[in-house]
Structure formats: C-alpha cells, structure tokens
C-alpha cells in the first residue's frame, strides 16, 4: 500500500492529477481507453483541480466513467454525485463524451414506490455492456477506482457492519438504509472494487484522522475501506493531507514518486 501525505490540499490535487495521468497512460497503451469509477463527496473537486493541470495531456473522450456509488435522486439534484461531477469535471474539462459517462436510469424514478434494486440491476447492465468482453470474466476490471473514505471508515456506499460487505455475486447493489443521507443509493460491490487494477483513496481533513490508523494500520480491521485496501495492497494508494494523516505512524508514509 502506498500512503502519501501532503501539507496542503493543492498539493494533494496536483499529485492526484499526476497519478491519474500515469494510470490513464498505462490504460491507453493497453486497450486504448480508460475505465474509471468515481465516488462523490469531496473527491470530485480535488480531482478536478488536479486534472485541470493535466488537461492538455489527456484525451477525455477515451474515458468511460461509472460512479462507484450514486444517490437515487434526479441528475440535477444537489445530492447527485453526477450533478457535482458534471459541474466540476465533465463541463469544465474538454472532451468527455456524454454516452461514456454512466448515470443511473432516471426513468426509474417515476416508479412508485421507489425500487432501489431496479436501479442497481439497470446500472449493472451498463457495466455488462461496457465490459462486454468480460463475458468470460466474472467481474469487470476497472483501470482505476477513485474513492473517498468517511470518518466511520465507509467507502462507496459500503458502510461498516452492513450485510452488503458479504455480497459476492452482484456487481451493483441497492442501499436503502444509508446512514449518510440520502438513504437510497446504489453502490459497486466489494468484488468489483477489489478487482480494479488500481484503487486510490482521496481523504483530507481532520475529521478523518481518528479512523485512518484503524483503516491503514490495523491488519484485522473489518471496516469497508480496510477490506478494500488489504485485498491487493500493491494496487492501493492513499492521497492524504497532513490533517488526515496526523495520527498515522509516520513510518507508513511514502514519498510520492510521480512528477
Ligand atoms: O456518495 C457518497 O456519499 C460518496 O461517494 C461517499 O462514499 C464518499 O466518498 C465518502 O462519504 C467520503 O466523503 P467525503 O470525501 O466528502 O468525506
């Protein structure tokens, strides 16, 4: 696991931009596109700042973007992860192809009562379509997952002690009891997240400093972020600021290698 900590948010953003560009280059060399899953929360703004410094080096039309989790709300709702990403990323950087940014199917919002499972099933179909040559593969393999980590150790919409941590069949699952509002969401499941070629957690601010030692240093932790980080430690990077990393043992911190 590579854990990086930076003195300020702008340095986290710059390093994240360099890291994503590096993963994008590797994916382009391998299969001519870049498959990415994105979380909401604070991540999109940090990512946007980092990518704005790389925009002349990246062809965003080659990006195939899914949401690692999404709230079941209209796409222009203030709670929509898509709405936030549209504002700071897809409209702000040149070249994103709308058909390659995969949103929840808002037609399903018309159904009463709301059927979260239907949203998950439809989103899984979009994954099947994009990862079509995955017909022989049990799980889609993303080039990169960009995730947050909540103060309770949750990531995506996978919450501590939740039954979804046992899910080993579905690629996308409904959540109807999210402790973080809104309650209704869909999320990629652990099998999908842990099969990604690379996973980066982007976590800043002092509200994260108490949980990070359990997530990063405790090899027995059952917290969702820890389960992902431990699945393939060599594929996992953490982008922290010094406020978030304050309670980590300094020996876990690495020097950021990309320039
Ligand atoms: O839709 C969501 O709620 C997010 O995808 C969620 O999983 C987020 O990544 C974490 O809660 C961390 O959020 P912050 O970075 O804002 O703390």
Strand 199-203 relative to strand 144-147, pairing: parallel
**Residue 133: its pLDDT value, please?**
63
- How far, in Å, CA of 209 to CA of 240, rounded? 10
User: Can you give the pTM of this predicted structure?
Assistant: 0.97
- How far, in Å, CA of 164 to CA of 170, rounded? 10
105 close to 96: Cβ distance less than 8 angstroms:
no
Out of 43, 85, 181, give the residue to mutate to test ligand 1, the one with the largest number of ligand atoms within 8 Å of its CB: 43
Q: Give the model confidence (pLDDT) of 204-245 as tens digits.
A: 999 999 999 999 999 999 999 999 999 999 999 999 999 999
**Residue 177: its pLDDT value, please?**
96
Helix/strand/coil for 26: helix
Q: Give the model confidence (pLDDT) of 163-178 as tens digits.
A: 999 999 999 999 999 9
Ligand 1: list residues with CB < 6 Å: 39-43, 69, 71, 81, 148-150, 155-157, 180
Region 49-78: mean pLDDT is 97
* Residue 136 scores a pLDDT above 90: no
Out of 13, 16, 39, give the residue to mutate to test ligand 1, the one with the largest number of ligand atoms within 8 Å of its CB: 39
| Domain made up of 2-252: CATH architecture | 3-Layer(aba) Sandwich (3.40)
Closest atom of ligand 1 to 155 CA is 7
- When computed from its CA atoms, the radius of gyration of the chain, rounded to whole angstroms, is 17
What are residue 141's phi and psi, to 5 degrees? -110, 105
Q: Count each helix (H run) and each strand (E run) in the chain, helices first.
A: 7, 9
- Nearest C-alpha neighbor of 93 from the set 65, 55, 127: 55
Closest atom of ligand 1 to 43 CA is 15
Sequence spans of domains, the chain: 2-252
**Residue 119: its pLDDT value, please?**
98
**Mean pLDDT score of the chain:** 96
**Residue 138: its pLDDT value, please?**
80
């Amino acid at each position: 696991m590579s854990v990086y900590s930076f003195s300020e948010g702008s340095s986290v953003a710059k390093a994240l931009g360099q890291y994503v560009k590096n993963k994008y280059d590797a994916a382009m060399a391998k299969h001519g596109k870049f498959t990415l899953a994105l979380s909401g929360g604070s991540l999109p703004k940090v990512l946007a700042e980092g990518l704005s410094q790389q925009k002349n080096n990246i062809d965003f039309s080659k990006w195939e973007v899914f949401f690692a989790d999404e709230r079941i709300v209209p796409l222009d709702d203030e709670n929509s992860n898509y709405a936030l990403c549209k504002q700071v990323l897809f409209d702000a950087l040149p070249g994103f192809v709308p058909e390659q940014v995969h949103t929840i199917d808002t037609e399903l919002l018309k159904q009463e009562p709301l059927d979260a499972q239907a949203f998950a099933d439809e989103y899984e179909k979009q994954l099947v379509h994009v990862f079509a040559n995955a017909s022989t593969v049990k799980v889609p393999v993303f080039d990169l997952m960009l995730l947050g980590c909540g103060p309770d150790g949750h990531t995506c919409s996978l919450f501590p002690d939740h039954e979804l941590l046992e899910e080993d069949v579905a690629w996308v699952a409904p959540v109807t009891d999210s402790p973080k509002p809104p309650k209704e969401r869909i999320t990629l499941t652990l099998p999908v997240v842990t099969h990604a070629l690379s996973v980066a957690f982007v976590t800043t601010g002092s509200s994260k400093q108490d949980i990070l030692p359990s997530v990063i240093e405790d090899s027995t932790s059952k917290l969702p972020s820890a389960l992902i980080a431990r699945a393939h430690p060599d594929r996992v990077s953490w982008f922290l600021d010094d406020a978030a990393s304050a309670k980590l043992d300094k020996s876990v911190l690495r020097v950021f290698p990309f320039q």
